[in-house]
Every structure is written in structure tokens, then in C-alpha cells.
Amino acid sequence: MGVKLLLEKANVPGIRSFEVYRREGGYRSVEKALKEMNPELIVEEVKKSGLRGRGGAGFPTGMKWSFIAKPEGVPRHLVCNADESEPGTFKDRYLMEFIPHLLLEGLIVSSFALGSNDTYIYIRGEYAWITDILEEAIEEAKAAGFLGKNILGTGFDCNIHVQRGAGAYICGEETALIESLEGKRGNPRIKPPFPAIQGLWMRPTVVNNVETLAAVVPIINMGGDEYAKIGVGRSTGTKLISACGNINKPGVYEIDMTISVEEFIYSDEYCGGIKGGKQLKACIPGGSSVPILPANLLLKTAKGETRYMNYESLSDGGFATGSMLGSGGFIVLDEDQCIVKNTLTLARFYRHESCGQCSPCREGTGWMEKILYKIEHGKGSMSDIDLLWDIQRKIEGNTICPLGDAAAWPVAAAIRHFRDEFEWHINNPELSQTSNFGLQHYADPIHVPA
């Protein structure tokens, strides 16, 4: 059993209520932070912890906090990004649904560190029942004196408000989220100015993911140095992984980032192996936008070393032979899955979710979907593969926000590692409609790394 810092108490009966959560030691970090520490000290502890943003980008949280501007007389805001919408990712939902007070506790401490008296949780619109859970938890915390005016008699005021989105993946991008919170379309802003200088209502704002803010609780309780001892290298602490696809035990797991990918997939403590005793074909290890890896490159790096479930190891080899830890959305594909079809559904997703501001993304995502649709339905030609490659290259890096990259990467990686499967579809238009390519890649020497 690995270390559990976030979900340790998630299975305690009644933990969703304030009473049980408090009895189990909850809200200690608020007492410690507000009574014994000051905002600068909290930021220092978070810096020492090495905590990196758990939403997908992995940016050091303490550093992000230290960027916030503090102009005289201008309110600052902390915004919690609960717009979890990256396909394969459902860890924040789990945390908020089962242990909502952990998020609130992290939010109160973080709000104190950043000087936010009005903190907002922006939650994806579809999580309507979780919105109710959070609002109930907020009322409980308020009644107990942990929220509202003069918290624990320290003079610090803080209110937490929950706002539902309305079905737009793009609002997980922090500036689109801010626009949406202001009652507008979710069109990302051009940076600079960064939210830390001009964010919500043009006030200094920090936007952090749910899991990141929850991780502040153990950091304050145990101290940043102790937290940093868990994990390996720059992958400190624990990470929530939401595992899905063709595995025996889909679900949310907290890992300490020292376990191997192989152990994560096959151990009964985690995914429990591939469903139906089938073979592993491929995996998207960090949410749908990170590069898909064929089984051989997933379990071992190109150098033949064991691959681990952490930031550095999963990205070992760059995009040529590696991927990313991303949001921790771990999607496993078995031998029966068709890479072309899987890529098509992801391309359709990104076309649907493109906000339409930047031409390369707005037009490119549509074209990628159309071409993949052709290939998948037995109407593709060889030049389509090169065309797809060309389009994704023209999207990547040429848009205001990272959605363009997120749409380009899955297509690029699918072609990079499974080009023979695309060619097979094109060469076998009829056969490909009734059967699939299976594991033939692994017979092809091109796809077996040296």
C-alpha cells in the first residue's frame, strides 16, 4: 500500500459531513495556518513541497502563487478549477463527491495565503449533484465558524461560492474559465496579462485545480519538506489517477508516483489487469490530449528502462517515444480497440470543444475529424495520412490557448506509433469495416523500439 494523503479517509462512513470530517482530524490545517502562520509562510511551505499543478500542466504551485500582484486596495481572488472535462479524467469529481470538506479546507488555507476574501469554485455544469454537495458542505463549514466573517476569531473573512459552467471543455483553460465566470463565452484571453496580474474582473487572480488545492492540506499539516520526501525527483507528493477503459478495476487511485506503469495496470491494488484476460494494446496515460503510447513504449522507455507513473518518467523520450502524466486520466485500450476510431472520437471531441477564436484550431479540428471519418469508414487515401500530419503540425503552437495543441497531439501520436493501422484501413476498405487490426503492430519491426 502506498502513501495516501488525500483519499486516506474517503471511505470513512459519513465523511461527507462536517461532523465526521472534523472528528477525523479535518480542518486542522486551517487552525494551524490562520493562527500560527502568515500568508508568506504558507506560500513558502507550498514552494518547499514541490507541489505541481494537478490539472495537467504541472506548473509549480508555490511559484504560481508568488506571482500574484498585490496592488493597494484591489481585491484578489482564488478560483478553483473544477471544470474537469479532459476525456479520461474524473478524479476531481471523486474527491468533491466523497470528501468535499477536504477541498474546502484547502481552499480556506489557500485563500488566506493569497488574500482572497471571495473565492469561487467553477465546476463543470454536468456535475450538478456535486454542486449541491459542495453548497451543503459550505453551509456546514460556515455554521462551524470555518467560513464567513472573522474565521476562528482571527479576523480573516472568506466566502466560497460555487458556480456551474454549462458544458464547455475550453472553460478548463484558466483564462476561458475567468471569462465564463464573468458571464461570457469561454474564449481564452491573450496572455499577458496573466491572471496573477489581471484575472477575474481584471483583479489579481490565481486559478488552481481541485486536487492541487486539496494537496495544500497535507502540506500544511506535515510541512513542505516532509511532503517533498514522498515521491521521486520533481514528482513530489501523491497524485490521483483516474483509470478507465478496458481494465478490470476502473476507478480513482491515489499513487505516490514511485510505482511502475506495469504495476499500476496489472496489480490488483490498482487496475487489476486487462479485462477478459486480453492483451494490452495501447494507453493514453494522462488524459485524452497527451500522446497515446503502444504497449511496448508504455511499460518501458525507448532505452528499455522501466517506466514509472510520474511526470519525468512518463515524458521520457519526449513526444517521439514518450507521453505525459497530464491530468492523470489513464485510458487503457485492449487488443480489440481500433486506433483510427479512437482517434476519430477524440478529434470529434476537440472539434466540438474548439471555441472558434483561432483559425488553425477552428478549421483544423474540423478537417482532422472529417479526414479521420473518411479513413475509418473505408474511404481514405494514402495522402490523407500526410494531410492529417500536416494539419496537426499547423495547429500546434499557433493558437491562443493550449486547446490547439491538445487537439493536435492525439492525432500526431496515433500516426507516429500506429501508422500501419491507418494504412491498413486505407488498403482494406471493406475488411476494416468488419474486423480490426488488433496487435499486428507488434509483428512489425518498425514499431518495436531498439
Partner 1 sequence: MAYIFNDTQMAEFKRLVARYPEGKQKSALLPVLHLAQDSFDGWLPTEALDYVASLLQIEPIEVYEVATFYSMYNLKPVGKYVFEVCQTGPCMISGSDSIIDYIKQVLSIQPGETTKDGLFTLKLVECLGACGYAPMMQVGKIFREHLTKEKVDAIIAEYRQTANNN
Q: In the complex, which residues of this chain contact partner 1 (CB under 8 A)?
A: 75, 84-90, 93, 118, 120, 124-129, 161, 163-169, 180-186, 201, 242-246, 250-252, 284, 288, 329, 331, 333, 337, 341-342, 345-346, 348-349, 352-353, 355
CB nearer to partner 1: pick between 45 and 254: 254
- Closest distance of CB 287 from partner 1, Å: 10
DSSP 251: E
C-alpha to C-alpha distance for 36 and 317, rounded to whole angstroms: 45
Which residue's entry shows cell 470513512?
12
CA distance 174 to 207: 6
Strands 239-245 and 251-255: antiparallel
Closer CB to partner 1, 44 or 118, in the complex = 118
Nearer CB in complex with partner 1: 59/201? 201
Q: Is 54 helix (H, G, I), strand (E, B) or coil?
A: coil
Nearer to partner 1, 349 or 424 (CB): 349
Nearer to partner 1, 42 or 413 (CB): 413
Cα–Cα distance between 64 and 60 in angstroms, integer? 6
Residue 326 CB, nearest approach to partner 1 (Å): 14
Closest separation in Å from C-beta 62 to partner 1: 28
Q: Shortest CA distance to 108 belongs to which of 118, 97, 99, 98?
A: 118
What does R_g of the chain's alpha carbons equal in angstroms? Answer: 22
DSSP 193-212: SPTTTS-GGGS-EEEEEHHH
Comparing CB distances to partner 1, the nearer of 133 and 302 is: 133
Beta strands (DSSP E) in 42-173 are 77-82, 118-123, 159-164
> Rounded to an integer, what distance in angstroms lies between the CA atom of residue 144 and that of residue 151?
9
Residues β-bridged to residue 16 = none
Quick one: 183 or 445, whose CB is closer to partner 1? 183
Helix, strand, or coil here: 242?
A: strand
In angstroms, give the least distance from the CB of 293 to partner 1. 15
CB of 39 to partner 1, least distance (A): 22
Minimum Å gap between C-beta 177 and partner 1 is: 11
Least separation, in Å, of the C-beta of 84 and partner 1? Answer: 5
Closer residue to partner 1, CB minimum distance, 68 or 346: 346
Q: Let me know: does 401 contact 188? Beta carbons within 8 Å.
A: yes
Minimum separation from the CB atom of position 355 to partner 1 (A): 8
Distance CA 290, CA 22 (A): 38
Return d(Cα 291, Cα 335) in angstroms, integer.
18
